[in-house]
Amino acid sequence: MQIAARDAVAPTRRAILPNGVPAHLTTYFGTNFAMRTAETPPPPGPEVIYPMGFLVEQGAETLVQAHFHAANQWQVVVGGEGELGRHHVAPVAIHYTNAFSSYGPLRAGPAGLHYFTLRNGYDPGARYVRESAHEMRGRPRKFREAKAEAGPPATAADLRALPAPEVRVLVPMESDGLAAWRHRLPPGAALTGPDPTEGEGQYWVVTAGALRLGGEDLPPLSCAFVFPADGPAAAMAGPGGAEVLMLQYPRGRAHLPA
């Protein structure tokens, strides 16, 4: 398991200008263009499970053109509001796309649009559809996406008032393990995650309260990545309760050439 507490990763926040769009990027897992230096080790091959995650704070009233990536990806909207394609998005919305499945554009509203970008494999950067559509041709994996509105984050009063843990299925599990859940826990409640061998890695994203996981206390906007070999992860809600999303990837690397 890899854990990234919000305060521990805060120093990685960088101003970026992807495709001319002003934004800030905070690195949680792996490496990316904002963090890479001459001393950074080369990334693993695309067949390797490699947690790669960051928080993007897209500037107000900006537009990121439709694009795709070379790795499977979850996104979690945690701040601001805007549009993803033709869909309005606000906290907490989730969106999944397969590698080489195009999505967008991403249009930020007057308060900007803040979202986690979470992958289980290395990706060198966005390929914009207008310039790179030829890279999608002939790929064995077809277009695929899943999306859900989890609703606004729980308040402290919501969590304290829970008589027992609650779970909501956001994306029902598909045959290859793709799935997503939202858990809400009263203070001190225990939580055990699903078997990670059903998919190809899970991200846990704390959206309210605090969660004790892997010996660390994780406030909102903290994340963890559970590898298939880790076994089901166990956690406990803090004294104010907790809300956490679990986002599981499908098994396999069908998007890789034979």
CA angle 72/74/77 to nearest 5° reads 155
Return the structure tokens found at 240. Answer: 């104010």
Spatial separation of the C-alpha atoms in residues 218 and 9, rounded to whole Å:
12
What is the per-residue pLDDT across 218-251, written as a single tens digit (0 to 9) for each? 999 999 999 999 999 999 999 999 999 999 999 9
In the prediction, which pLDDT does 38 show?
75
Contacts of residue 70, Cβ cutoff 8 Å, sequence gap at least 6: 46, 99, 100, 121, 122, 123, 124, 127, 255
Percent of the chain with pLDDT over 90: 77
Report d(CA 170, CA 148) in Å as an integer: 6
Decide the pairing of beta strands 93-97 and 73-84.
Answer: antiparallel
Q: What is the pLDDT of residue 253?
A: 81
* H or E, element range at 155: none
CA distance 226 to 212: 15
Mean pLDDT of 175-196: 97
Element (H, E) at 8: helix 6-9
Q: Which residue has the higher pLDDT, 162 or 131?
A: 162
Overall average pLDDT of the 25-45 stretch = 85
Q: How confident is the model over 77-94, as pLDDT tens digits?
A: 999 999 999 999 999 999
pLDDT, tens digit, for every residue of 129-159? 766 666 666 666 677 899 999 899 999 999 9
Q: What is the mean pLDDT of residues 58-68?
A: 94
- Domain spans in the chain, listed from the N-terminal domain onward: 2-149, 156-248
Q: Which residue has the higher pLDDT, 254 or 65?
A: 65
CATH 2.60.120.10 fits 156-248, yes or no: yes
Say what the pTM is: 0.94
CA-wise closest residue to 167 among 184, 187, 180 = 184
Residue 258 has pLDDT above 70, yes or no: no
State the CB neighbour count (10 A cutoff) for residue 167.
Answer: 12
**d(C-alpha 49, C-alpha 115), whole Å:** 22
CATH classification (class only), 2-149: mainly beta
3-state SS assignment for residue 29: strand
With bands split at pLDDT 50, 70 and 90, how would you rate the model's confidence at 127? confident
What is the model's pLDDT at position 126?
Answer: 79
| Distance in angstroms (rounded) separating the CA atoms of residues 240 and 209 | 6
pLDDT value at residue 135: 67
Q: How confident is the model at residue 122 (pLDDT cuts 50, 70, 90)?
A: very high
Pair of tokens at residue 45? 């091959």
Q: Do domains 2-149 and 156-248 have the same CATH topology?
A: yes
Contact 135, 127 (CB under 8 A): yes
